Amino acid sequence: MDSSVTDSIELQGVEIKTHLDPDWESYSSTYNLRVPVIPKIVILPATAEQVSQAIRWAAVHGLKVQARSGGHSYASHSNGGVDGSVVVDLRKLQDVELSQDGIIRVGGGVRLGNLACAILRGGRALAHGTCLNVGIGGHFTHGGFGFTSRAWGLSMDQIVRLDVVMADGQVVRALESENKDLYLAMRGAADSFGIIVNFYLRTQEEPKAVIKWSVDIPKATKSVESAVETFAYIQDFVNDATIIDKYLGIVIFLSHDRFAIEGTYLGDAAEFHDRILMPLLQGLPVKEAIRTGYRRVEWLALLRLWADDKDPEVSPDYEEHLIFFAKSAAVSHPGLSRDELRQYFTFLLAEGPSAPVDYFIGVQLYGGANSQITANTVPDSYGHRDAMWMFQHYGSVNKGEFPDEGIRFVDNLNKALGPGHGASNNYADPSLERDEAQKLYYGKKLEGLVKLKGVLDPQDVFSHPQSIRGE
């Protein structure tokens, strides 16, 4: 590392890490070891002004910048996506401050479990994902799905204001009535436009009752036709407004020998049993060996369950490293046709038993009757407001190289859903070229974002292999 970095006047007073530091590997290694990316430097600001210093320094030296909140980017974008980027690591920005109006100010480096526990002490809750070690940054700005999202919206929908450091180092407020274009861009495509040092989020009163439930239908995968009919029935069921309301959250987990539904319900147990569970079970086309379970849990107990019975709060220095490849598919309303389902389950049941890697499939319900995800009307840069389902296809190995045949399996599994579906940049796919990734992530909103990029970051300071470039 040349002395222009370590002796830079612009970075005086700011902690930095370079390859000369003994703990460099801890700060430079990626979450997904299949996509190793080595930064030029990791900067650890403690204030918004220090984030500003870091960006101004990088811009002067012609370097590309990416923020790292929790560092869980599937494509290693939080390390810049390519070697030689400047990583602005936000782990020192840990403020969580709840106001009397239920709005919470959250530092850009806070992890989901720490956030959830902090606001729970004030009797509040938010919709967010179940991987509680994830940082707020990428999760909240690329959508962010949780079991309560159909009731409360995506994580992104709870943002009411942002403090953003721009490409020129300015720290500005962005909300619907002030810097509206920036507010739109940061909610869905933040990694191309700025670094958020503070989120201001609208919280909900802690639910008095949460029903955690599951329905396991192992015989649904006994044949392609039984799998098709079971999925098609569930799809029709969740669209039935005479039964379903926004308080129901569902994720379907699939494999060649698994068909299981897991979810939450914001209500009491008797209501869930009578209104949801019994009608669901009565209509299932496959009835053998069904296992069901449901119980009322406190919100904190639910967080602990999501954390595998561990403490939901973790250190800002928490590290995790895995070896995986994942793809996603955003399926629009009203969902998948029987022909599409038949094609999908034909591949899954034929190829799944001999899959070259461990794999799982998670199918998140975005749509359905009265979903607050699809009902949201505040302008943003999120590309999939009309999504019915979000599929995640995830393959992994415990050690060593991820095999090429594993890439092909996950890719073909995703393709088996048929053409025309979008993708989620919460599950960024590094195998996609920039243009294809942007079309899949942003859909019809891409054209407007390209224009905004040219205005808000004309020098392309905030850049990675799939980031938006201006005209």
* Chain Cα centroid distance, residue 162: 18
In angstroms, rounded to a whole number, what is the distance separating the alpha carbons of residues 188 and 182?
11
Q: What is the pLDDT of residue 10?
A: 75
Q: What is the pLDDT of residue 4?
A: 57
- Which domains are seen in the chain, by residue range? 3-89 (3.30.43.10), 96-206 (3.30.465.10)
Q: What is the pLDDT of residue 151?
A: 98
Yes or no: say if 109 and 72 are a contact pair by the CB < 8 Å rule.
no
Those residues whose C-beta lies under 8 Å from the C-beta of residue 386, and which sit 6 or more positions away, are 332, 333, 367, 374
CB neighbours of residue 293 within 10 Å: 10
Q: Could you give phi then psi for residue 69, rounded to 5 degrees?
A: -95, -75
Q: Which of 174, 140, 175 is nearest to 158 (CA)?
A: 140
In angstroms, rounded to a whole number, what is the distance separating the alpha carbons of residues 155 and 127?
6
Q: What is the pLDDT of residue 6?
A: 60
In angstroms, rounded to a whole number, what is the distance separating the alpha carbons of residues 216 and 388?
21
Yes or no: say if 51 and 195 are a contact pair by the CB < 8 Å rule.
yes
Those residues whose C-beta lies under 8 Å from the C-beta of residue 263, and which sit 6 or more positions away, are 147, 212, 213, 214, 248, 249, 250, 251
Q: Which of 255, 454, 218 is nearest to 344 (CA)?
A: 255
Those residues whose C-beta lies under 8 Å from the C-beta of residue 6, and which sit 6 or more positions away, are 16, 18, 20
Those residues whose C-beta lies under 8 Å from the C-beta of residue 409, and which sit 6 or more positions away, are 351, 355, 356, 357, 359, 395
- pLDDT tens digits for the chain (471 residues)? 455 566 676 788 999 999 999 999 999 999 999 999 999 999 999 999 999 999 999 999 999 999 999 999 999 999 999 999 999 999 999 999 999 999 999 999 999 999 999 999 999 999 999 999 999 999 999 999 999 999 999 999 999 999 999 999 999 999 999 999 999 999 999 999 999 999 999 999 999 989 999 999 999 999 999 999 999 999 999 999 999 999 999 999 999 999 999 999 999 999 999 999 999 999 999 999 999 999 999 999 999 999 999 999 999 999 999 999 999 999 999 999 999 999 999 999 999 999 999 999 999 999 999 999 999 999 999 999 999 999 999 999 999 999 999 999 999 999 999 999 999 999 999 999 999 999 999 999 999 999 999 999 999 999 999 999 998
Q: What is the pLDDT of residue 471?
A: 86
Give the full edge-to-edge strand order of the sheet including 86-89.
15-17, 41-44, 86-89, 65-68
